[in-house]
Structure 1
Amino acid sequence: MAQAIEIERKFLVLDSSYREQAFSSSRICQGYICSMRGRTVRVRIRDGKGYLTIKGASNESGTSRYEWEHELPLSEAEELMKLCEPGMIDKTRYLVKCGTHTFEVDEFYGANEGLVIAEVELADENEPFERPAFLGEEVTGQVKYYNSFLMKTPYKDWEENKKQSEYPL
């Protein structure tokens, strides 16, 4: 099997306009059998199907890393979920076409409520792409936005978010 390299860039999302622009959406539940820095083994249930994904360490810029994914029967994914570390990721993924690319916009729930991240997969790290108006700050390579990190340190527990909720505007 040839090595599969995932090249993607991540952005915070400024507003909810992605919902109206989406051509598809699905609920995703995922857990991690292994969430060590540099290697993760993830179990995901999406649209009644299961997936097992293994990811390697990101390169220096955080834009690319090894990724292997295999579809599983739902029953097997449900059994593997029982082996996962504490903390699940629950989100809706919206697919939004912009130019020749499709953006995956993840709206998180539960302990990560309030966080919305958009990702675009590229063929090359320097590939140009059209940016939808809802894209905010780029967070590519910032570990705190990785799902495996959010599982252990949820968005609601981040110090900057605690301070904001203590002192409402």
Structure 2
Amino acid sequence: MANSTDAALRRSPLNAFLPRWFLTLLIPGACIGCSKSPHDLAPVRGVVTIDGKPFAAGKVMFAPVAKGESRNAGRAAFGRLQPDGTFTLTSYDADDGAVVGDHWATLIRLEDASLGERPSASPASALPPFSRVTYSQRITVLPNQENKVTLAFTTQEIVHYAEQDD
């Protein structure tokens, strides 16, 4: 008896139509906002220096600071450092920027052969080993404009954080 009921359900015109109809509405609806931030973003470009010289051996992370009682400050943005120390931040899509508002910026050192040739002016080889250093001041990303940021570190700051990193 169960077999005849199952066969009748499989032959039902509504059962055959419903999955296609449902998927036709579900798939496009599910993708709306998939890569769109629930927070406003603004483009951010910048440069990282140590003692005034470009630093290229890493990436930067901008972590948004929550406002008020909200715990959801938004997604962190990352930017890979180029040989001249410059970066462009990405949150969701390439180079889309960072969440508008205050951020803590962190320099993350990478020891990666794929970084290529480093400029001779880079202080990377003279620094003690470290994995990350947080910039001492909050960075504010302003809406409706390209934000240009300089993260200027000193060797003394790196040494201080390297001692705490062990």
TM-score, normalisation: structure 1? 0.23
Q: Work out which of the two has the higher radius of gyration on C-alpha atoms and give 1 or 2.
A: 2
Which structure shows the bigger proportion of residues in helix conformation? 2
TM-score of the superposed pair, with normalisation by structure 2:
0.24
